[in-house]
A and B are shown apart, each in its own frame.
Chain A
Amino acid sequence: MWDYTDKVKEHFINPRNVGEVEKPSGVGEVGSLACGDALKLSIKVNEEGIITDARFKTFGCASAIASSSALTEMIKGMKLEDAEKITNEDIANFLGGLPKEKMHCSVMGREALEAAIANYRGVFLPMAEGEVVCECFGVTDLEIIRAIRESDLRSVEEITNFTKAGGGCGKCHDRLREILQQTVAGLEVEPKKVQKEQRMTTLQKIKKIEEVLEREIKPTLKKDGGDIELIDVDGDFVTVSLRGACAGCQSSRTTLKVYVEKKLRELVSDALIVEEGK
């Protein structure tokens, strides 16, 4: 028998917020019948970006139900940008901890929340992409790498506890070990390496490029009174427009190739070619 905390038992016996939000702002569905657990989370978001209601339907064991119940309690009344920061560890901690073999239940909660927020924003989640490593549970390398990093996993067994990967036929254990070694090594040497290699849809690529522009490139250009805007992404061709001081700058072409393109290639994809739009 599992050693569940009183709080897990209490949330399992008296789950909060069971059901579906009427006219939801966003819905996140993760898991499947085949996998043995699934969670459908629906949220209502008001104009201020606050989650005013959250409800769940869960198929799964006691810790899956308790994690879902805990998640809805945690996010109700929360700003979206705060809710986004919730990790699976937060969910587990809310419940006073979960047995290590059950950590994947808290991961399912976090994934459903991400999916619901993405659905609200109308964006496609990159998590579904990547190479499927565990055929039994349909877990991709990206999900595994993320779990290794976020929860500081150090063994194949821990990967299974958190993501379910490797919990079926066991054929992927060697590959999991490889990913584990690479990720752990990568953490010390080159943290972005694996992310860069991911295959992306155009939509994901746009999202990623926007992110990098916002986070990395714009702040740097702004220091010199310049700015940049994304105009179009067509395959690997990225069209941008330089604004502000950059617009008439003699060295704008150099900025574009040496700085912007280099940065995007480094953080998004090697294949990108950046051009300035008219």
Chain B
Amino acid sequence: MNRNSTVSFAVPAATFALIIAVLVTELPPGRWPHLPFLPGRMVLDQIGFAFGTAPRIAIALVAGAVLGLSGAMLQAVLRNPIADPSTLGISSGAQLALVVATIFVPDLLVHGRWPIAMLGAACAAAIVFAIGPRRAFAPVTLVIAGMLVSLMSGAIATAITLSQGEYLLSLVIWSGGSLVQQDWSGVRSLGAVLVAGLAAALVLERPLRVLSIGVGGASGLGLNVAAIRFAVLAVAVVLAGAVSAELGLIGFVGLAAPTIARAIGFNSLRRNLLAAPLIGALVLSVCDSLVILLDARLGEMFPTGAVTGLLGGPLLIALLAKLQGSTPPGTENAEPAAARIRHPYRALLLIAALLLVGVVLLLLIGRLPSGWTVLDWEHFMSFLPMRLPRLIAAGAAGAALAIAGALLQRLTANPLASPEVLGVAGGASLGYGLAVFATAAPSALMLNGATVSGGIVALVLVAVFVSRRDMPPERILLAGIAVSAFASSVLAALMATGDPRAWRILGWLSGSSAAIGMTGAVTLAAVAASMWMAAAFAARWLAIMPLGAGVAGGLGVNIPRARLLLILIAGTATGVATIFVGPLSFVGLMAPHMASRAGFHGASQHLHATALIGTCLMVCADFGARMAGFPYELPLGLFASLIGAPWLMATLSRKTG
């Protein structure tokens, strides 16, 4: 306790010192303008100080607090320790709206970015909420729907960015979240939002605490569960939306702040709601101060919002060991399981047969400049060497990612777990990015080597972490997310330099199977198949692990070893798929949900169904990516989301049970 109070004094003091250092760097103290700031009485650098540096420091504190509060509320209401403002698609909705407006109706932006971004955030939230009421805003349903919206808008925004080329470079910076300010208006509006949000949080604190005893108990105490959840979510949406509108995407603070607060002992809801904004403010402020100091040295403009992971990632990992376990998600059974399939293995065979037929059809159909056609033998044979490898690669990558997702979701009993939370894809991307930037003309071998080593380093880090004793699954997820956030921060910083090489990375990040050759495709397929088999052999663990450590230990499962092996299988599958087709989020996260919504529940049938669905999705996505923009190619990830998301949305909003 004593040490905690020392820390809680030292950290704000250090932050304050840093802020002073920034102010002194910008302008010697003797020349600081006096309050109130009146531009008429200042010289140029004083005006820059009073209306640039000072509000920027203020807005970092305010925005960090807003994000921390939003994250704390979301984690409480969704009962998921890895929920954050991006979980409900809020930030990416805002981003998509801005991208669309900038390209198609730039006139709309004359009133500033606020209305557009808020509209986007509201639309995203509206889609998610439209599904909510049926199930009294049950956390699992909301979280899946939110991730769907988030992935879809992200994919569309990236596709538009890519197709428009340089025009949107400024938006890339926007999506990184720059804190540069020209006056105090941003601070004022976000400050107002923060005050309102804090007031709302304090009002909602008690009902939220009642809600934490579970739906049954809470409604027994006379709580309108759906209304309270809606209110909390609405407040969180407005908070996160306001930051998105004002500053752009500021990642990770919303997730890290409440988690760090819990890790250093602010466990109860009220203390967490109060501590998370403070910690968020400190984290963002320290990041931004460091960015300002770096900018001054290097003359580059780094988007603060994108590099929060550089500081927050390691910080979160360092504190994870102290984190107390929290309520596991998914204990509320509001989402009735889909009816089980009567003959699951027959159904699986059917899917596999359809997949085969589909592949043959896709190989036969072609689009020539004159229109659609069934290829004749000659064309078929001449296209085959080009088409077959990418079709195999896409399908195998789909299977590999889907398997990784299924393993992780069962291992952690968390529906939000997906391959990228392992950090493997993040590490691989980082390796790729560094190779692109560090060498003048990287060869394919060099790129692959760098990607592989990045992925392996990340996997080893996570595996070391997992193999420590008594590691609750929650910490595994958070560790992976921290690694990913760190990696994507570095990438974002690289991209923000505006270097043309950034496009290459952005293109790779959205996924493509275009460049793959037959050797690569077969390698990928072989690895995917062996991981599939390995996972099938582990099916019994997959059935037991979701029941928790108590039951698994009682049955004699060697839990650390089972966890490590499952993580290694998932990591290898993710890494290999990432190397060949880029980091794709959708398949790994959603294919397991699609399989269970379709009625595959037993551990091993669920695994096979997930893998097959992943394969189907990616094969279709590959076809779509090739054909839709003919003769140009669109990103694979976009198509996987576009095909899968509506279907999953439909099954979620369907009444079952």
| A in complex with B | no
